[in-house]
Amino acid sequence: MKIHNTTGGRIFDAANYVFLSLIGIITLLPFVYVFAGSFATEAEITRRAFFVWPEQFSLGAYEYIFSTPAFIRALVTTVLVTVVGTVVQLVLTVTMAYPLAKRNLRGRQLIMSLVVFAMVFSGGMIPTFLLVKDLGLLNSYWALILPAAINPFSLIIIKNFFQELPAELEESAKMDGATEVGILWRILLPLSKPVLATFALFYAVGIWNDFMSPLLYLSDNSKWTLQMYLRQVTASSDLLGTGNVDPNYIPPEQSIKFAVIVVATLPILIFYPFLQKHFAKGMLIGSVKG
Amino acid sequence: MSQLTDALASNIGAGDGAGTESGQGKAKKPAKPPKVPRGKFSIHLAHYKWLYLLLLPGVLYFAVFRYAPMYGVSIAFKDYVPFLGVNASPWVGFQQFQDFFANPDFGRLLGNTLILAFLSLGIAFPLTIVLALLLNEVRLSILKRTVQTLVYIPHFLSWTIVASLSFLLFALDFGPLFLFINNVLGTDIDFLSDPAWFRPLIVLQDIWKNTGWGTIIFLAALATVDQDQYEAAIIDGAGRFRRVWHITLPGIRSTIIVMLILAIGQMLNTGFEQIYLMTNALNRGVAEVFDTYVYFVGITQGAYSYSTAVGLFKSLVGIVLIFGTNALAKRFNQSGLF
């Protein structure tokens, strides 16, 4: 389409470009500041109001946190829970989605209706907490993985994706004597790799970022995840009145806080381009068809 | 819960876009004859035993972690005693609800929750549409993609990180924003503990984290607006703003209404994590909302039945709101959500 560019139009375009660039930069600035601050000395952080590049480069904050057992424990725990949790959640979602994609499986409609109802109405915080408690999962890492194991939306999207795959693929495999499980494993999964990778990333981000589950289910602070640790480190002393923070805890130097935030943020930023590749293509948006 | 809206939103977006066409094409195809005669269920089951076996873990998951808590909601009408369990605890009818409505906390919680909800609907929601419109006007695709890439990032960060960044940026005496704003206003405000600044801070965080991501759904709707109309409007001499006003906005009206209905249905769901993380002893009076109240009264004080009743009240109001706005939208001759 050809646009007749008037002077007013050009001024608007220029202003719009400048404005949007500013929005982009403002979004990014907090990261830049924290990243720069994590490599700065304590003196520089308290002296300079704002900076994007440290005058004096220091690894002190990182040396400190990576020699703190509580931090290392939280980091290792979070990585393990994220990896195991993502695998468990993805396997549960895929194994449920595959049979539901079979149009002639009986009971399919009923199960789908129950799944949809579960998206609209949930038991809420307390009944779920009591269930986890009754199952003996308090202070267990499974409490961070199982209660949210299958995201109903992911389930429906993956089910629809399986349904869209050409039926001929399965029929020819069946003629060659493949079983249903064999078809899923050898034919459908290799074809769905990009889709599954995307959902794996979304599940992983969900577990990594989760603050509410560890807050509810892990009272033992030797089991804390990185988000819980981060909360304790960055909450300033006047914020300590809200519970779940050890009253004897002495807030650390500012540079330590910067470094812990960077460590908690970095994995998300590293995986972000992979996430973005898919949702930018509209895959998630276009592939939901109810 | 925000994941819910996100995905629901994408679902609706697909309905506006071209994506539905292939789906409809599929449905029109004559259904394949079932390979097994639809006779006895036992034969069906035997034939598809592997499929049912694959289905089993997922069904168990939904039964245990989704439906058992729904049954557990019944303790809202009981006086839950942990060692008696959900079933054996005595019924008390609507006692918990009466206690809650009679409690002075109720009015304060409702007020706090509604103010935050209206701030979000009145500020964050329109800003999302404005940002989408501005992005849509950009013809320099590298700039558009770069800005999109940047503004989507905060959506993927946890509230813990957002809260921590706020603690640093507004830190007393040395935080960059603490110094900047106090310099401009000539004041000495501790933004993190001053109750008057709690709500602006929450709205600011909300805008930073979610506005960019929220544009996705509107950009998808904007892409489906008929391009011929613009050409016709240009020939008729319509300027940039008149085109946006008379073509673009009406073109995405149904998406705006659907998103508004969803947002209103979510009104009482002020994100638990965000509010919890930003609450402290000083701002508690304005900060406490239904979600955090359920946590403090239920988990930390052990009033399980009472807090379940509070949670149930909140979800029921949410359902009423969603159906109410939907009916209202239909009444004004707009396409509703369902």
Query: Tell me, what CATH number does A231's domain have?
Result: 1.10.3720.10
Question: What total of structural domains would you count in chain B?
Answer: 2
Is residue B122 pLDDT above 90, yes or no?
yes
The predicted pLDDT at position A188 comes to: 85
| B136 pLDDT tier (thresholds 50, 70, 90) | very high
Q: What is the mean pLDDT of chain B?
A: 85
Question: Number of Cβ pairs closer than 8 Å across A and B?
Answer: 317
Is residue B1 pLDDT above 60, yes or no?
no
Instruction: Report if residue B123 sits inside a domain.
Output: yes
Q: Are residues B64 and A131, on separate chains, in Cβ contact within 8 Å?
A: yes
The predicted pLDDT at position A1 comes to: 44
The predicted model gives B273-285 an average pLDDT of 91
The predicted pLDDT at position A60 comes to: 87
Instruction: Report if residue B73 sits inside a domain.
Output: yes
Q: Which residues of chain B lie closer than 8 angstroms to A21, CB-CB?
A: 143, 147
Question: What total of structural domains would you count in chain A?
Answer: 2
Q: Structural domain of residue A11, as residue ranges?
A: 7-58
Give the residue among B7, B272, B123, B51 at the shortest CA–CA distance from A111.
Answer: B51
Name the strand (E) or helix (H) holding B284.
Answer: helix B284-287
The interface pTM score, or ipTM, of the predicted complex is 0.88
Question: Which chain B residue has the Cα nearest residue A228?
Answer: B160
Q: Are residues A77 and A38 in the same domain?
A: no
Question: Which is higher by pLDDT, A18 or A169?
Answer: A18
Total count of residues recorded for chain A:
290
Q: Are residues B59 and B153 in the same domain?
A: no
| B45 pLDDT tier (thresholds 50, 70, 90) | confident
The predicted pLDDT at position A267 comes to: 93
Q: Are residues B240 and B308 in the same domain?
A: yes
| B9 pLDDT tier (thresholds 50, 70, 90) | very low
Instruction: Report if residue B337 sits inside a domain.
Output: no
Q: Which residues of chain A lie closer than 8 angstroms to B161, CB-CB?
A: 209, 230, 261, 264-265
Q: Are residues B198 and B125 in the same domain?
A: yes
Instruction: Report if residue B237 sits inside a domain.
Output: yes
Q: Are residues A142 and A180 in the same domain?
A: yes
Q: Are residues B179 and B74 in the same domain?
A: no
Q: Are residues B81 and B149 in the same domain?
A: no
Distance CA A126, CA B38 (A): 43
Place of tokens 């005058």: A55
Q: Are residues A238 and B72, on separate chains, in Cβ contact within 8 Å?
A: no
| Contacts with B, A 41-80, CB within 8 Å | 45-46, 49-50
Q: Are residues B82 and B213 in the same domain?
A: no
Which domain CATH number covers B120?
A: 1.10.3720.10
Instruction: Report if residue B29 sits inside a domain.
Output: no
The predicted pLDDT at position B14 comes to: 36
Is residue A288 pLDDT above 60, yes or no?
no
Question: Which is higher by pLDDT, B278 or A251?
Answer: B278
Q: Structural domain of residue B51, as residue ranges?
A: 40-93
Q: How far apart are the first and last CA of chain B?
A: 20
| B165 pLDDT tier (thresholds 50, 70, 90) | very high
A137 touches chain B (CB under 8 A): no
The predicted model gives B318-333 an average pLDDT of 83
Instruction: Report if residue B34 sits inside a domain.
Output: no
Q: Are residues B121 and B191 in the same domain?
A: yes
Question: Which is higher by pLDDT, A243 or B302?
Answer: B302
| B38 pLDDT tier (thresholds 50, 70, 90) | low
The predicted pLDDT at position A8 comes to: 77
Q: What is the mean pLDDT of chain A?
A: 85
Of A27, A98, A216, the CB nearest to B212: A27
Q: Are residues B68 and B143 in the same domain?
A: no
Q: Which pair of tokens denotes residue A247?
A: 């009253």
Is residue B282 pLDDT above 80, yes or no?
yes
Distance CA A130, CA A134 (A): 6
Q: Which of A65-79, A170-184, B28-42 has the highest mean pLDDT?
A: A65-79
- Is the CB of residue B160 less than 8 Å from the CB of residue A264? yes
Q: Are residues A78 and A52 in the same domain?
A: no
Q: Which residues of chain B lie closer than 8 angstroms to A238, CB-CB?
A: 192-193, 280-282
Instruction: Report if residue A1 sits inside a domain.
Output: no
Q: Are residues A24 and A117 in the same domain?
A: no
Q: Are residues A151 and A51 in the same domain?
A: no
Q: Are residues A276 and A144 in the same domain?
A: yes
Q: Are residues A124 and A268 in the same domain?
A: yes
Is residue B127 pLDDT above 50, yes or no?
yes
Distance CA B284, CA A242 (A): 9
Q: Are residues A206 and A256 in the same domain?
A: yes
Least confident of A22-31, B22-31, B79-88, B286-295: B22-31
Q: Are residues B127 and B254 in the same domain?
A: yes
Q: Are residues A39 and A139 in the same domain?
A: no
User: What secondary structure, in 3-state letters, does chain A show?
Assistant: CCCCCCHHHHHHHHHHHHHHHHHHHHHHHHHHHHHHHHCCCHHHHHHCCCCCCCCCCCCHHHHHHCCCHHHHHHHHHHHHHHHHHHHHHHHHHHHHHHHHCCCCCCCHHHHHHHHHHHHHCCCCHHHHHHHHHHCCCCCCCHHHHCCCCCCHHHHHHHHHHHHHCCHHHHHHHHHCCCCHHHHHHHHHHHHCHHHHHHHHHHHHHHHHHCCHHHHHHCCCHHHCCHHHHHHHHHCCHHHHHHCCCCCCCCCCCHHHHHHHHHHHHHHHHHHHHHHHHHHHCCHHHHCCCC
The predicted pLDDT at position B82 comes to: 86
What percentage of residues in chain B have a pLDDT greater than 70?
86
Q: Which pair of tokens denotes residue B276?
A: 């919890």
Question: Which is higher by pLDDT, A120 or B72?
Answer: B72
Q: Are residues A129 and A148 in the same domain?
A: yes
The predicted model gives B274-285 an average pLDDT of 91
A284 touches chain B (CB under 8 A): yes
CB atoms within 10 A of CB B122: 11
Q: Are residues A100 and A43 in the same domain?
A: no
What percentage of residues in chain A have a pLDDT greater than 70?
88
The predicted pLDDT at position B64 comes to: 96
The predicted pLDDT at position B85 comes to: 85
- Is the CB of residue A60 less than 8 Å from the CB of residue A37? no
Q: Which residues of chain B lie closer than 8 angstroms to A100, CB-CB?
A: 55
pLDDT digits (tens, 9 = 90+) for A192-230: 888 888 889 989 999 999 999 999 999 888 899 999 999
Letter for the amino acid at B105? D
| B116 pLDDT tier (thresholds 50, 70, 90) | very high
| B49 pLDDT tier (thresholds 50, 70, 90) | confident
Least confident of A72-76, B2-6, B148-152: B2-6
Distance CA A8, CA A16 (A): 12
The predicted pLDDT at position B224 comes to: 86
Of B93, B114, B137, which closes a domain?
B93
The predicted pLDDT at position B226 comes to: 85
CB atoms within 10 A of CB A48: 15
Distance CA B217, CA A84 (A): 32
Give the residue among A192, A267, A222, A257 at the shortest CA–CA distance from A62.
Answer: A257
Is residue B27 pLDDT above 50, yes or no?
no
Of B54, B59, B153, the CB nearest to A111: B59
- β-partners of residue B91 are B78
Q: Are residues B71 and B111 in the same domain?
A: no
A261 touches chain B (CB under 8 A): yes
Least confident of A36-50, A210-224, B8-22: B8-22
Instruction: Report if residue A64 sits inside a domain.
Output: no
Q: Are residues B109 and B83 in the same domain?
A: no
- Is the CB of residue B150 less than 8 Å from the CB of residue A19? no
Distance CA B338, CA B332 (A): 15
The predicted pLDDT at position A167 comes to: 79
pLDDT digits (tens, 9 = 90+) for A140-163: 999 999 999 999 989 998 998 888
Instruction: Report if residue B270 sits inside a domain.
Output: yes
Q: Are residues B225 and B76 in the same domain?
A: no
Q: Which of A176-180, A203-207, A241-245, B171-175 has the highest mean pLDDT?
A: A203-207
Q: Are residues A112 and A241 in the same domain?
A: yes
Q: Are residues B19 and A46, on separate chains, in Cβ contact within 8 Å?
A: no
The predicted pLDDT at position A178 comes to: 80
Mutate: best of B11, B42, B55, partner A, most A CBs <10 A: B55
Is residue B139 pLDDT above 60, yes or no?
yes
| B171 pLDDT tier (thresholds 50, 70, 90) | confident
Instruction: Report if residue A109 sits inside a domain.
Output: yes
A17 touches chain B (CB under 8 A): yes
The predicted pLDDT at position A56 comes to: 87
pLDDT digits (tens, 9 = 90+) for A160-189: 888 888 878 788 888 888 887 888 888 888
Distance CA B311, CA B297 (A): 11
Instruction: Report if residue B323 sits inside a domain.
Output: yes
Is residue A249 pLDDT above 60, yes or no?
no
